Structure 1
Amino acid sequence: MASSAIPAADLRSFAEYLKGCKRIIALLGAGISASSGLPTFRGAGGLWRSYEATDLATPEAFDANPDLVWQFYSYRRHMALKAQPNRAHYALAELARRNTDFITLTQNVDGLSPRANHPSKQLHHLHGSLFTVKCTSFYCTYSRENDFTDPLVPALAIPDNTPELNPSTDDKTGEVASRSLSQALKGGEIKEADISDERVPLPALSTDVLPHCPKCKEGLLRPGVVWFGESLPSKTLNQVDKWMNAAFVDLILVIGTSSKVYPAAGYVDKARARGARVAVVNMDRNDVGSSGLQPGDWFFQGDAGTIVPELLKGVIGEV
């Protein structure tokens, strides 16, 4: 039975088209993780809202205060692990298993797609992952993926009074994570009332108790995410571009992302240029990217965790 949130005619036309699709790409944003109740960039309860992004998510911040940065990312890892993959993650993973010409490009670092057993060869992380760690030593190439240990080291254990998963449904901080707090305030995406008046006191940790590289024994490990001022992973970009340019593209699924931040937003136009039709799943009809909706596109408004499995059911069955 079709979801009441999906117009029957749109669902029927999409399902008919999907059955004939071979080469499909999905572009994922924070909206798919919101269905799992995951706090957005600055976290639940305002714990990190009083910090500028440049205090927490740059190479310079890590060099100056690795303990502060690691406490922030340990908190994000902890919260991501408390969340569970939702039906949309499982549906996309099942589609990948059934169709080796389907790839997913995610902007999310939360590890929910890997935990839904999405085939790794068909999953590309544009912004890295909270659960990848790598050595900061110039002479060391050590890295490891999908390390879901919590905490990574005893000193990074999350205090018992850490706020639980309780994100606001109108919290926009995840969508403006690429902007500084002052810019977001000026632009109106975040209100003064959303920000803690005081910074939560955090313990000062010596570098001795932070995660160290097991290979070189000297370098500190860092989170394997793309920080502000860093380039996106060229290997990932090249792999996706190679796939995109190899042949005609049938469909791009744009799920839980405004598609306004480049280069991710550019993949919608690239897919269109390769012949793709576009299907958008988003809570906000006005939030469909710089190119907007065009004739022949589909827009499905609502919770990705409910809508995506319904859209794919004709190909993958129930999840």
Structure 2
Amino acid sequence: MEISQEDLASFHTALKSSKRILALLGAGLSASSGLPTFRGAGGLWRTHDSISLATPEAFNKNAGLVWQFYNYRRHMALQAQPNPAHYALAELARRMPGFMTLSQNVDGLSQRANHPMKQLQLLHGTLFELRCVDRAVCRYSETNFTDPVVPALEIPTSDLDPTSNEARKEKGNDLDISDVQIPLPALKREDLPTCPKCKTNLLRPGVVWFGESLPFHVLEAAEDFLNHPNDIDIMLVIGTSAKVYPAAGYIEKARERGARVCVINMDETDRPAGGWMDGNWFFRGDAAVLVPKLLEPVIGDIKASE
């Protein structure tokens, strides 16, 4: 990974004079922590279409299966650790009141890096919020990092197939559950998390499923930042192609407010919404390495601030 020193110097010059910065985060940021993407859950879920599990209809039809999928994702997220990019962005938030982060990630890594919550908007919710399925009347929600959520959701590690057993032995019994294929137990409704407030409905993961609207308060916060009287200096696009709306729309709106776009991604074919323009920066490589280096003039050595 080679960084153009000319581009780096240009970005640092712009950063040091910036007052308002907007960041858009995607799965590529968490990939640097070793976390599989939503569509790459693998292992336990090779025989399932993960997209088809992320709908209200799937939950109504088979809440046990959906909960097993999301409990698996919670478990994997808790095994991962925030990387230096998470810490760098959290430090920038502490040092720059005019910095706002819009995250498409649900893994909780930004929160665990102590990113100030007033400057972190979760577009797709989080795996670590549980809420009652009855949003019209009950509206109960809680933050929950318990693994597993309930005992019945314990990830099974027995009855491994022979191939996985051999792989496990070769790794010195260091079981990587993303590599194993295990029959999933059929769960009853009473086995699943129940709302402690209404004591009637199930709890569900606090993520945005396909077909659902993004959280209103998040959209409102994003619009308030974009419509602020003062212009935006820089738009950081980290670990995401940002080709799906509303994410793509935020880049366009930031540009309308004067922002220069800086893309940090492993895929050099990814282009920001609207394409490349004069004054853009593209840094190809690992966000965990690049982001602290890019923000260093403002945050200093991130290792000293973690």
**What residue identity is the alignment partner of 2:107?**
D
> Partner residue of 1:139?
137
Where do residues 103-122 of structure 1 align in structure 2 (5 Å cutoff)? Answer: 103-122=100-119
Moved more, 213-222 or 303-312: 213-222
For 1:27, which of 7, 11, 24 is the aligned residue?
A: 24
CA displacement, residues 199-222 of structure 1 (integer Å, 9 cap, x when unaligned):
852101111111111111111100
Aligned pairs for 1:161-180 (under 5 A) are 164=176
Out of 117, 123, 129, which is 2:126 matched to? 129
Which residue of structure 2 aligns with residue 264 of structure 1? 247
Counterpart contact for 1:31–1:304, Cα < 8 Å: yes
Task: Tell me if the contact between 1:42 and 1:48 (Cα under 8 Å) persists in the aligned partners.
Answer: no
Q: Is the 8 A contact 1:93 1:113 kept in 2?
A: yes
Q: Which residue of 2 aligns with 1:253?
A: 236
Aligned to 2:81: 84
User: Percent same amino acid at aligned positions?
Assistant: 62
- Asked if 1:291 corresponds to 2:303, the answer is no
Q: Does residue 75 of the first structure (1) align with residue 76 of the second (2)?
A: no
Structure 2 equivalent of residue 231 of structure 1: 213
Contact 1:58 1:227 in 2 (8 A): yes
What stretches of structure 1 move > 3 A for 4+ residues in a row?
Answer: 42-46
Q: State the number of aligned residues.
A: 285
* Alpha-carbon distance, 1:65 to partner: 0.4
Contact 1:114 1:120 (8 Å CA) reproduced: yes
The alignment's TM-score, normalised by the length of structure 1, stands at: 0.85
Q: Do 1:213 and 1:219's aligned partners in 2 also have CA atoms closer than 8 Å?
A: yes
CA contact (8 A) 2:71 2:148 kept: yes
The yes-or-no answer on 1:240 pairing with 2:245 is no
User: Is structure 2 residue 216 aligned with structure 1 residue 215?
Assistant: no
Describe how 1:275-290 pairs up with structure 2 within 5 A.
275-290=258-273
The superposition leaves residues 150-193 of structure 1 with CA deviations (integer Å, 9 ceiling, x where unpaired) of 111111111236972779xxxxxxxxxxxxxxxxxxxxxxxxxx
2 CA distance for matches of 1:108 and 1:242?
A: 21
Aligned partner letter, 1:92: L
Does residue 51 (structure 1) correspond to residue 17 (structure 2)? The answer is: no
Alignment match, 1:99: 96
Distance 2:89 2:178 in 1: 25
How do 1:186-201 and structure 2 match up within 5 A? Answer: 200-201=182-183
Asked if 1:308 is matched to 2:306, the reply is no
2:252/2:273 contact within 8 Å kept: no
Per-residue deviation, residues 20-65 of structure 1 (Å, max 9, x unmatched)? 1011010000100010000111344443233234531110110110
Q: Does 2:20 align with 1:8?
A: no
- Under a length normalisation based on structure 2, what TM-score does the superposition of the two structures give? 0.89
SS in 2 for 1:132: strand
Q: Is the 8 A contact 1:54 1:61 kept in 2?
A: no
Structure 1 residue 139: Cα displacement:
2.1
Give the counterpart of 1:61 among 58, 61, 68: 58
Give the partner amino acid of 2:217.
Answer: K
Aligned to 1:47, the other structure's residue is in SS state: helix
Deviations 1:261-307 (A, max 9, x none): 11111111110000011111011111123322211011000000000
Which of 141, 151, 155 does residue 154 from structure 1 map onto? 151
Whether the 8 Å contact between 1:24 and 1:101 is mirrored in structure 2 is yes
